[in-house]
Amino acid sequence: MIIIWKGYGFLVPFIIVSVVGAISVLSWLLFPSTVFLGPCIGSFLAAAAVWYIGKKFNSPLKNRVMIDKQSGQEFVLKPDHSLFFIKMQYWAFVMAPIGLFLFIAMVIAP
Protein backbone atom coordinates (compact mmCIF):
# COMPACT_ATOMS: atom_id res chain seq x y z
CA MET A 1 0.00 0.00 0.00
CA ILE A 2 1.30 3.42 -0.91
CA ILE A 3 0.90 6.22 1.61
CA ILE A 4 0.60 9.64 0.02
CA TRP A 5 1.14 12.75 2.11
CA LYS A 6 2.23 16.36 1.84
CA GLY A 7 4.00 18.31 4.55
CA TYR A 8 3.22 16.97 8.00
CA GLY A 9 0.25 14.89 6.82
CA PHE A 10 2.11 11.72 7.75
CA LEU A 11 1.48 12.62 11.42
CA VAL A 12 -2.27 11.89 11.19
CA PRO A 13 -2.03 8.10 11.73
CA PHE A 14 0.57 8.55 14.47
CA ILE A 15 -1.64 11.03 16.33
CA ILE A 16 -4.69 8.79 15.99
CA VAL A 17 -2.92 5.59 17.05
CA SER A 18 -1.14 7.22 20.00
CA VAL A 19 -4.23 8.99 21.38
CA VAL A 20 -6.62 6.06 20.89
CA GLY A 21 -4.03 3.61 22.22
CA ALA A 22 -3.20 5.65 25.33
CA ILE A 23 -6.85 6.29 26.20
CA SER A 24 -7.78 2.64 25.53
CA VAL A 25 -5.04 1.28 27.80
CA LEU A 26 -5.92 3.79 30.52
CA SER A 27 -9.61 2.93 30.22
CA TRP A 28 -9.00 -0.82 30.34
CA LEU A 29 -6.87 -0.40 33.46
CA LEU A 30 -9.49 1.73 35.23
CA PHE A 31 -12.65 0.02 33.95
CA PRO A 32 -11.79 -3.52 32.83
CA SER A 33 -15.40 -4.52 32.12
CA THR A 34 -16.00 -1.91 29.41
CA VAL A 35 -14.56 -2.90 26.05
CA PHE A 36 -15.61 0.02 23.84
CA LEU A 37 -15.23 2.91 26.29
CA GLY A 38 -11.52 3.55 25.67
CA PRO A 39 -11.59 3.43 21.87
CA CYS A 40 -14.79 5.51 21.87
CA ILE A 41 -13.37 8.33 23.98
CA GLY A 42 -9.99 7.96 22.28
CA SER A 43 -11.56 8.40 18.83
CA PHE A 44 -13.28 11.62 19.88
CA LEU A 45 -10.09 12.96 21.48
CA ALA A 46 -8.02 11.93 18.45
CA ALA A 47 -10.50 13.74 16.19
CA ALA A 48 -10.15 16.87 18.32
CA ALA A 49 -6.35 16.61 18.33
CA VAL A 50 -6.13 16.10 14.56
CA TRP A 51 -8.54 19.01 13.97
CA TYR A 52 -6.55 21.35 16.22
CA ILE A 53 -3.12 20.39 14.86
CA GLY A 54 -4.34 20.43 11.26
CA LYS A 55 -5.86 23.89 11.68
CA LYS A 56 -2.55 25.15 13.11
CA PHE A 57 -0.44 23.66 10.31
CA ASN A 58 -2.80 24.72 7.47
CA SER A 59 -3.50 28.18 8.89
CA PRO A 60 -4.11 30.93 6.31
CA LEU A 61 -1.81 33.12 8.41
CA LYS A 62 1.08 31.07 7.02
CA ASN A 63 0.30 32.03 3.40
CA ARG A 64 3.19 33.72 1.62
CA VAL A 65 3.00 36.06 -1.35
CA MET A 66 5.79 35.73 -3.89
CA ILE A 67 6.38 38.14 -6.75
CA ASP A 68 7.89 37.05 -10.06
CA LYS A 69 10.67 39.52 -10.91
CA GLN A 70 10.23 39.27 -14.67
CA SER A 71 6.47 39.57 -14.98
CA GLY A 72 5.62 41.24 -11.66
CA GLN A 73 2.88 38.65 -11.12
CA GLU A 74 2.03 37.68 -7.54
CA PHE A 75 1.74 34.09 -6.40
CA VAL A 76 0.26 32.93 -3.11
CA LEU A 77 1.95 29.91 -1.53
CA LYS A 78 -0.40 28.18 0.88
CA PRO A 79 0.63 25.48 3.35
CA ASP A 80 -0.60 22.03 2.41
CA HIS A 81 -0.37 19.31 5.02
CA SER A 82 -2.49 16.40 3.86
CA LEU A 83 -2.79 12.63 3.91
CA PHE A 84 -4.23 10.88 0.84
CA PHE A 85 -5.12 14.31 -0.59
CA ILE A 86 -7.28 15.15 2.45
CA LYS A 87 -6.09 18.06 4.61
CA MET A 88 -5.08 17.11 8.13
CA GLN A 89 -7.94 18.82 9.93
CA TYR A 90 -10.58 17.05 7.82
CA TRP A 91 -9.46 13.64 9.09
CA ALA A 92 -11.37 14.61 12.24
CA PHE A 93 -14.55 14.04 10.21
CA VAL A 94 -13.39 10.46 9.67
CA MET A 95 -12.54 9.81 13.32
CA ALA A 96 -15.68 11.32 14.87
CA PRO A 97 -18.10 8.87 13.16
CA ILE A 98 -15.86 6.00 14.23
CA GLY A 99 -16.16 7.25 17.82
CA LEU A 100 -19.94 7.55 17.38
CA PHE A 101 -20.12 4.00 16.01
CA LEU A 102 -18.12 2.72 19.00
CA PHE A 103 -20.40 4.65 21.36
CA ILE A 104 -23.49 3.05 19.81
CA ALA A 105 -21.80 -0.35 20.04
CA MET A 106 -21.03 0.31 23.71
CA VAL A 107 -24.65 1.21 24.45
CA ILE A 108 -26.17 -1.70 22.49
CA ALA A 109 -23.72 -4.41 23.59
CA PRO A 110 -24.34 -5.78 27.08
Each residue of 24-72: pLDDT tens digit? 999 999 988 888 889 999 999 999 999 999 999 999 888 899 998 899 8
What is the H or E stretch that residue 19 is in? Answer: helix 11-30
**Residue 6 binned pLDDT confidence (cut-offs 50, 70, 90):** very high
47 contacts: CB under 8 Å, gap ≥ 6: 91, 92, 93, 94, 95, 96, 99
- SS3 (DSSP) at 34: coil
Please state the rounded mean pLDDT for residues 83-91.
94
**Residue 92 binned pLDDT confidence (cut-offs 50, 70, 90):** very high
CA dihedral defined by 51, 53, 58, 62, rounded to 10 degrees? 140
Examine the pLDDT at 110 and tell me if it is beyond 80: no
Backbone angles phi, psi at 78, to 5 degrees: -105, 145
The overall longest dimension of the chain from CA atoms, in Å, is: 70
**Residue 1 binned pLDDT confidence (cut-offs 50, 70, 90):** confident
